[in-house]
Amino acid sequence: MTQLQSVSSPSIHSEDRAHEADHPTSPVVKFGFEQPLKLDCGIDLAPFQIAYQTYGELNADRSNAILICHALTLDQHVANVHPLTGKAGWWEIMVGPGRPLDTDRYFIICSNVIGGCMGSTGPASTNPATGKAWGLDFPIITIPDMVRAQAMLLDRLGIETLLCVIGGSMGGMQVLQWTAAYPERVFSALPVACSTRHSAQNIAFHELGRQAVMADPDWHHGRYFERSTHPHRGLAVARMAGHITYLSDAALHRKFGRRMQDRELPTFSFDADFQVESYLRYQGSSFVERFDANSYLYLTRAMDYFDIAADHDGVLAEAFRGIKTRFCVVSFTSDWLFPTSESRALVHALNASSARVSFAEIETDRGHDAFLLDVPEFFDISRAFLESAGKARGLESKAFSSEVDTGSREENASKQER
Amino acid sequence: MALQEQALPLGGIAPDRTGKYRTDHLLVAEMIPAGSKVLDVGCGDGELLQLLESRGIDGRGIELSREGVNRCVAKGLAVVQGDADTDLVNYPDDAFDYVILSQTLQATRQPKPVLENLLRIGRRAIVSFPNFGFWKMRLQLLVGGHMPRTENLPATWYDTPNIHFCTIKDFVQLCDEINVKMERAVALDLYGRPVPLNLPWWVWNMFGEQGVFLLSRGGKGR
């Protein structure tokens, strides 16, 4: 009885999600049969579409564009209200006037990755050959595929080079892939809380999540659209497991400890007696409202396959040989999903390939998710790195207002935040 | 090894009238030709790196403190957070033309391997450190009977990051021991001025508040 109550049914209907997958609320670029996306699995995907958002304005010489790469379960709605959840953008804390990714200075682009479910072609999109959702007929995609699609989007938007590519977690993997695949198009790169390859432990957690989805009777081998169901219980369990890996023991303890939820004594049942349990159940059920289960399978798989050194005979430094891109690598002390040691390995490889690299490990007990939270040290370093990159690119004189103006604007912004 | 034999003329450090840069930093910068690729180990807030970059030198840094790294990144410098004792081993051979260890040697746990790594990573190394043989230091221990403290080294013995102090004489001996060639040596007095060269080496050891050494790999082979 209690187990059935554990995850509430989604209040947003699958039809809403399905509609968003084909007809996104955000701008979308469509590629026809003449412009297929060449996937690593050998398939040419055509036609396909990429949904995206932009913030700020592109300057005259197109030198102030910054690409944000989103993490696994996020999307293009960085700094605007989410069309399905009605909640604020996932990185509003970072993106906006006076924020580190200052929309008064930079032109910010974020696309929904290929394989996603918020308007870029993915397993939830309609397969033009059948008129039904792709489901498991959708080809397996990789991080390089996502980046290739983003490059095609930028071509279409008329942006040759990016001032910076920034992203955390899966987004950080895309950042690294960008620098390895298109070094000449990336002036600077800010990979956060990520690594050049997905570890065995991380693959193991993803497998747990996928198995949870596939064990749900509502999954129907991925054909749940036709049955008007959604494996929301399996997906919620996957999200709960994932969410634990995004936090840290210290953060969970600080937030919840062993405190009880709305009661003083245990119920001697499998109800959510502990606050941490009801928190996880909430996380799970709110996630299934906005995310597609098959998309979760495809995107976790893409992360699992990621190994940048593998394409270079296992020598990571070779991936970045002779690169001109300026790097700023950031990790967080309590991140056990992508621990600092992984970032250090990347930094050593970048140093070995003579890349211009900065690296900072930021002290926080908030775990992997720290890159999405209010961590002033991270904001400061991102702001400083972007400003120096802008300066090196000659942006200062053109797009930047005077020091005084900037200062007062930042002051205003921080006042607003308080 | 007689020190003054190794010491080459200073070539005149341009005095910094603006007071923007420290004399020892200017001295280090004079030793490095433009276009060189340089790693500054323990670069602090990047003051020396900025001076080097202004002279057309391609500089990188390693710094232990997060605050230091943040300040460096804000200046547009390429600085990696790390520890000289543990991180230098990860750098490939001959990765840099010069590796600088400025006022950091005394804070390393293992000065000898650190020095060896400097000259493996870089073709040349520039090392500067406070001279514990400086007369004020000697006097404080001899007369005062307590661990010396100076303006540049104000920490008390129990909370100092400096754990391996040495004198200029000790350092020369260490270089000899690990077959490091001393291409140039300069002692700076309390005011950061070079101690005149025509004085015998023990004067340096006595009156040099710090030593700055340009080193290269020895020719003896090991």
Residues of chain B found within 8 Å of residue A370, distances taken between Cβ atoms? none
The DSSP output letter for A116 is -
CA distances in angstroms from A356 to A141, A257, B31, listed in the order given: 31, 43, 23
Per-residue pLDDT band at A398 (split at 50, 70, 90): very low
- Cβ of B73 and A387 within 8 Å? no
pLDDT for A271: 86
Taking an 8 Å cut-off on Cβ atoms, the answer to whether A358 and B90 are in contact is no
Residue A326 to chain B, least CA–CA distance (Å) = 8
A70-79, B17-26, B111-120: range with highest mean pLDDT: A70-79
Q: Is A321 on the interface with B (CB under 8 A)?
A: no
Average pLDDT over residues A319-344: 95
- Tell me how many degrees the CA angle B33-B34-B38 measures, rounded to the nearest 5: 80
- What 8-state DSSP symbol labels residue B143? I
Which of A63, A169, A248, A343 is the catalytic position?
A169
Give residue A293's identity as a one-letter amino acid code: A
Q: How far apart, in whole angstroms, are the C-alpha atoms of residue B136 and residue B151? A: 11
Work out the angle at residue A79's Cα, subtended by the Cα atoms of residues A77 and A84, and round it to the nearest 5 degrees. Answer: 40
Q: Is the pLDDT at A296 greater than 60, yes or no?
A: yes
User: pLDDT at position A349, please?
Assistant: 92
pLDDT at A412: 40
pLDDT score of A75 = 97
Identify whether A169 is a catalytic site residue: yes
Contacts of B80 in chain A (CB under 8 A): 347, 351, 357-359
Cβ of A358 and B91 within 8 Å?
Answer: no
Active-site residue, selected from the candidate residues A285, A368, A369, A382: A368
pLDDT (0 to 100) of residue A404:
37
pLDDT digits (tens, 9 = 90+) for B161-218: 887 888 888 888 888 898 899 888 888 877 777 776 667 777 777 778 888 889 998 7
The model carries a pTM of 0.87
Could you tell me what percent of chain B has a pLDDT over 70?
Answer: 88
For residues B104 and B162, the answer to whether their CB atoms sit within 8 Å is no
Taking the Cβ of residue A392 and every Cβ of chain B, the question of whether any pair is shorter than 8 Å is answered with: yes
Name the catalytic one among A335, A343, A369, A382.
A335
Q: Where does the pLDDT of residue A384 fall: very low under 50, low under 70, confident under 90, or very high at 90 and above?
A: very high
Give B67-78 pLDDT, tens digit per residue: 899 889 988 899
Which residues, other chains included, contact A402 with Cβ-Cβ below 8 Å and sequence gap of 6+? none
The whole-number average pLDDT for the span A51-64 is 96
DSSP A91-136: TTTTEETTSSEETTT-EEEEEPPTT-SSSSSSTTSBPTTTSSB-GG
Model confidence at A225: pLDDT above 60: yes
pLDDT digits (tens, 9 = 90+) for A72-110: 999 999 999 999 999 999 999 999 999 999 999 999 999
Average pLDDT, integer, range A353-369: 93
User: What value of ipTM does the predicted structure carry?
Assistant: 0.77
> How many Å lie between the alpha carbon of A5 and the closest alpha carbon of chain B?
47
Average pLDDT, chain A: 91
Contact pairs from chain A to chain B, CB under 8 Å: 65
Nearest to B73 among A347, A352, A358 (CB): A358
| Residue A7, pLDDT above cutoff 70 | no
CA dist A78 and A55 (Å) reads 9
Determine, for residues B69 and A362 on separate chains, whether the beta-carbon distance falls below 8 Å: no
- CA angle in degrees (0–180, nearest 5) for B186-B191-B195: 30
The residue in chain A having the minimum alpha-carbon distance to the alpha carbon of residue B79 is: A358
Q: How many CB atoms lie within 10 A of CB B36?
A: 19
A368 classed as catalytic: yes
Please state, in angstroms and rounded to a whole number, the distance separating the CA atoms of residues A136 and A132.
12
A363 contacts in chain B (CB < 8 Å): 66
Half-sphere exposure of B169 (CA within 13 A, CB side): 11
At which residue do the structure tokens 């800010």 appear? A190
Interchain CB distance below 8 Å, B69 and A387: no
User: Quick one: pLDDT band at residue B133, thresholds 50, 70, 90?
Assistant: confident
Are the CB atoms for B65 and B71 separated by under 8 Å? no
Q: How many whole angstroms separate alpha carbon A186 and alpha carbon A362?
A: 24
Q: Which residues of B touch A (CB under 8 A)?
A: 37, 60, 66, 69-70, 72-82, 90-92, 95
Do the chains contact at A380 and B60, CB–CB below 8 Å?
no
For an interface test with A, the pick among B62, B67, B70, B88 (most A C-beta atoms closer than 10 Å) comes out as B70
Separation CA B190–CA A264 (nearest Å): 69
